[in-house]
Structure 1
Amino acid sequence: MTTAAPAKSGTLRKATLGVMTLAIMNITAVVSLRGLPAEAEYGLTSIFYYIFAAVFFLIPVSIVAAELATAWPQKGGVFRWVGEAFGPRWGFVAIFLLWVESTIWFPTVLTFAWVSLAFVGPNQKWDVALSANTVYTIIAVLVVYWGATLVTLRGVKSSSAISKWGGLIGTIIPAAILILLGAIYLIEGRPIHIELGWDKLIPDFSKFDNLVLAAGIFLFYAGMEMNAIHVKEIDNPSRNYPLAILISSLATVAIFVLGTLAIGLVVPQSEINLTQSLLVAYNDFFHFYGIPWAGSIVALALFAGVIGGVTVWVSGPSAAIAVVGRAGYLPPFFQKLNKNGVASNLLICQGLVVTFLAVMFVILPSVQAAYQILSQLTVTLYLIMYFLMFAAAIHLRHTEPVTKRPYVVPFGSAGMWIFAGAGLVGAMVAFILSFVPPSQISVGSPSTYIGILIAGNVIFVAIPLLIYANRKPHWKTTEGASDFEAFGWELEGRNPSEVQTKVVVLDENKGVAQ
């Protein structure tokens, strides 16, 4: 992820963002339509899961990240926050998991992109068959991913226009169309495939294996912490930032809930497919209203939206971990920047990992199985990063009580325990559920499914620990060392676990005590 550059020492940053502007930024950062079919499996019950995840994850992430971002705005993001609390070892684990989960995410989101492109054709049966073809999927994923990588290697300017227009055309407009069509369809009293009734809102908790797809909702809401850095740019942050969070949270939940229910109206539960049903729903709606040609236009728009998002995420996490790496946490090979200032070797290695994961679509029983396993591995790795972030926020409230916090989580220390504690509980529930094989999808042997997820988590947590344990002094570049500020506990000459006894003011350009 990318963060805004810190203000120069001695200058005041004026409020440049209004409440609605920040709310829209949050919505854009979080909302994606590709996961709606997974929750359409649950019908009205999906409303419960969306609200539960918002209360126990979306809001806690937003509130807690705002305090961390304003108290420690120096470069590094989650590496800085976790490292300030528990030391650079665990800070490096956090930033590595952010990078690797986004890497694993690429095959799943690109699968959706190419399913969208398959539905541009005039024959829906042919479209469905093509989108389920594993050879087509692998080739498509790799062509688009490496194309986005080549664009990214040319620098930020080359990809900014793609990401900007892709988000507008491929997410916001299609979401509005889907919700509008669903509302009209329901008002007209047409036949629906979703069971209505208040009793359908509460999940059947006796069917534990049915809850695993609901755990994916937590990843739907992930990413709100990326905009927390902007809390310093909003007037009266103690009042207006929570208001922006409330607006964006309600809007995000509304888009997800109404979009999911719109799919459930026209696609029978038994026919819901994780990679195809969104496009099938659009096509069904357009056929009902006599404009079948519009389905191809929406499919192209959704494809453009995914490409825009992928272009941003190809470079974002890689740039973040490259900055940390140049401070002495990655071998020189991965620190190399090309003439455009892009971490080229890191991007190439990331591409090789994506290529390997794409091949899983051939090995596993179906595209859906591969999609589900990679999606759940993405969820669990991201959640481990959030465990560290929430724990760091609680820890820092006690070990660095006098550090200036322009934005403070409401209700003092008790409020931090409430919000970060809720986030930890919600993340833990989602983490556990992610290891339960879903009953709705054939994933082969349940033990193999669980084994792959456990092995994936162990391997990807072990890798940064091994890299950190074997780091060398020459890994720290002169430029990287001068550009990366020291931790507060380093400047004070204490260990991260010791309680802060004095205030240290950092020059954000030089990283030294004044």
Structure 2
Amino acid sequence: MATNTNQAVKLGVFTLVIMNITAVVSLKGLPEEAVYGLSSAFYYLLAALVFLIPTSLIAAELAAMFQDKPGGVFRWVGEAFGKHFGLMAIWLQWTQSIFWYLTTLIFGAVAIAFIGHNSGLDAELSNNKYYTFLIVIAMFWIATFISMKGMGWTSRISKIGGLIGTVIPAVLLVILGIMYLASGGQSQMNFHTNFIPDLSNFNNFVLAVGIFSFYAGMEMNSIHITEMSNPAKNYPKAIFISALITVVVFILGTFALGIIIPQKDISLTQSLLVGFDNYFAYIKASWMSPIIAGALAIGVFAAVLVWVSGPSRGLYIVGKAGYLPHFFQRTNSNGIQKNILIVQAIIVSVLSLFFIISPSIDTIYQIFTQIAIILYQIMYMFMFAAAIILRYTMKDTDRPFRIGKKGNSLIWIIGGLGFIGSTLAFIICFIPPAQINIGSIVGWYAILIVTCMLFVITPFVIYTFKKKSWTDPNQGIPPFHWETKKKLLKLFRDELKQDEKE
């Protein structure tokens, strides 16, 4: 088996912040919330309160607590619920990312289409199913091959790509919105409506729950915590900076988009590019449209690159501990999980065929988004519960970052908020959004339920039939604390029995 030549790479706070922002902040989702107008800020802040803040705090405590033990959510959930649920957690983190790739790459295809100089033809091309299919496959396979170069390549490209394709366009979008209003432009968003939406209309929550997918992933880069310098201090710092920037970018970016596009004309996949086109046309700088489209495509690629190397790496580390066949444990000369990456790319390629057979791009975009959220929220529910349970089962373990200086009241509040938020998001995701034509309701429920059941059951099947021969003797995952306690207890009992015999 190959050895890892990338161990010397150390991630700093700035690099991890950019990697987090690149992984979490996706401007493609702004049109999804812009349809809510001013009340979109309410949804962003509500989701931040019940999901982003709990996720960031819990991930910071758990990652710092297990900074010397790889495995990420596998370690966190496994310590609280056992190996089989730990495997389920890391499996769901990986499988949900597959559907996330597809929704993100759809936007990447749209961005590439808008690099042209004819907005009408650009929009027509972005709606072409065969074009979308080919671009999605091409971008993902390129990202896969770059990921095989190692963490050094991934971190450098994702940092540069995140700045060019996410941070700069987000800042530019907000500046354009301010310039537009300051110069007398008419806002398409009504800022005199209620900040708090009509909560009696349950359908309003269906598209709004997509915000949970916007905020998801803040814990994902914890898999790289052993590659950081002073992780106990720097990881929580990077998490909090990333979370703050994320909320600000989403709220201001959504407002800027709603200002320039009428609510009735908003498309989930095209409106971000159309918004930039409209702003550039207003300031007589339409020549910038292809440039920003190219930048956004780079941002999508950088985001996919971060995710390709994250969950798959966690799955590989867990697989070496005996949870996956040897085929999935093979690495290349850079120590990268080549077979998992290739299998992942094949799955993405097969699922991309749905772009061709689906009634519309928006429909399949929404279905894949809902599946990703459902799978991810199951993992999050276990993560939040694990943080609370570990306060009691591992109460004496050192926590370099701890939620609340004394007692467990605050962990119950933070973890409880996150658990409730994830549960609500999980339930709401099964409700068809009124704003999108989904076709058959029966088909909608069948796709969501069958797909999610399949992916949830699979890790338990793998665990049931796993073989001892799958374990790599050089694997780096130490035993769970409860395994060590059981072994010590058994040793103590054996010694007592031996003493009694003597």
Whether TM exceeds 0.5 here: the answer is: yes
For the structure 1 residues 53 and 494, does the alpha-carbon distance in structure 2 shift closer, same or farther, using more than 3 Å as the test?
Answer: farther
Superposed displacement of residue 104, structure 1: 1.6
For the structure 1 residues 414 and 232, does the alpha-carbon distance in structure 2 shift closer, same or farther, using more than 3 Å as the test?
Answer: farther
Does the aligned pair in 1 maintain the 2:22–2:299 contact within 8 Å?
no
Superposed displacement of residue 6, structure 1: 11
Name whichever of 282-291 and 362-371 sits farther off: 362-371
Distance in 2 of aligned mates of 1:437 and 1:460: 21
How do residues 285-364 of structure 1 correspond to structure 2 at under 5 angstroms?
285-364=279-358
Q: Among 188, 206, 221, which residue is 2:215 paired with? A: 221
1:430 aligns with 2:425: yes
Superposed displacement of residue 46, structure 1: 0.4
Following TM superposition, where does structure 1 have runs of at least 4 consecutive aligned residues deviating by more than 3 angstroms? Answer: 20-29, 154-161, 226-237, 240-250
Does the aligned pair in 1 maintain the 2:22–2:302 contact within 8 Å?
no
Output the amino acid matched with 1:221.
Y
1:257 aligns with 2:251: yes
Unaligned stretches of 5+ residues in structure 1: 8-12, 499-514
Name whichever of 185-194 and 114-123 sits farther off: 185-194
Output the amino acid matched with 2:195.
L
- Kindly provide the CA deviation profile for residues 203-231 of structure 1, in whole angstroms up to 9, marking residues without a partner as x: 11232123211111011111222456499
For the structure 1 residues 434 and 36, does the alpha-carbon distance in structure 2 shift closer, same or farther, using more than 3 Å as the test?
Answer: same
Query: How many positions carry a matched residue from both structures?
Result: 479
Superposed displacement of residue 333, structure 1: 1.4
Output the amino acid matched with 1:485.
P
Unaligned stretches of 5+ residues in structure 2: 1-5, 490-502
Does the aligned pair in 1 maintain the 2:18–2:162 contact within 8 Å?
no
- 1:102 maps to what in 2? 97
1:185 aligns with 2:161: no
- 1:76 maps to what in 2? 71
Name whichever of 371-380 and 221-230 sits farther off: 221-230
1:202 aligns with 2:204: no
- 1:374 maps to what in 2? 368
Does the aligned pair in 2 maintain the 1:231–1:241 contact within 8 Å?
no
For the structure 1 residues 250 and 153, does the alpha-carbon distance in structure 2 shift closer, same or farther, using more than 3 Å as the test?
Answer: closer
Distance in 2 of aligned mates of 1:355 and 1:456: 17
- 1:224 alignment partner, SS class: coil
The alignment's C-alpha RMSD in Å is 2.6
- 1:194 alignment partner, SS class: coil
| Percentage of identical aligned residues | 48
Output the amino acid matched with 2:99.
I
- 2:493 maps to what in 1? none
Superposed displacement of residue 118, structure 1: 0.4
Superposed displacement of residue 30, structure 1: 2.5
- 2:219 alignment partner, SS class: helix
Does the aligned pair in 2 maintain the 1:437–1:443 contact within 8 Å?
yes
Superposed displacement of residue 106, structure 1: 1.2
- 2:412 maps to what in 1? 417
Does the aligned pair in 1 maintain the 2:221–2:310 contact within 8 Å?
no
1:37 aligns with 2:63: no
Does the aligned pair in 2 maintain the 1:104–1:374 contact within 8 Å?
yes
For the structure 1 residues 143 and 29, does the alpha-carbon distance in structure 2 shift closer, same or farther, using more than 3 Å as the test?
Answer: closer
Does the aligned pair in 1 maintain the 2:97–2:311 contact within 8 Å?
yes
How do residues 74-223 of structure 1 correspond to structure 2 at under 5 angstroms?
74-197=69-192, 199-223=193-217
For the structure 1 residues 289 and 210, does the alpha-carbon distance in structure 2 shift closer, same or farther, using more than 3 Å as the test?
Answer: same
- 2:28 alignment partner, SS class: coil
- 2:264 maps to what in 1? 270
For the structure 1 residues 343 and 25, does the alpha-carbon distance in structure 2 shift closer, same or farther, using more than 3 Å as the test?
Answer: closer
- Kindly provide the CA deviation profile for residues 239-282 of structure 1, in whole angstroms up to 9, marking residues without a partner as x: x9878766543332111011001111111111111110000000
Distance in 2 of aligned mates of 1:115 and 1:247: 30
Q: Among 391, 394, 398, which residue is 2:388 paired with? A: 394
For the structure 1 residues 235 and 80, does the alpha-carbon distance in structure 2 shift closer, same or farther, using more than 3 Å as the test?
Answer: closer
Output the amino acid matched with 2:116.
G
- Kindly provide the CA deviation profile for residues 136-188 of structure 1, in whole angstroms up to 9, marking residues without a partner as x: 10011111111222222343344443222111100000000000001111222
Distance in 2 of aligned mates of 1:209 and 1:404: 45
TM-score by length of 1: 0.88
Does the aligned pair in 1 maintain the 2:37–2:189 contact within 8 Å?
yes
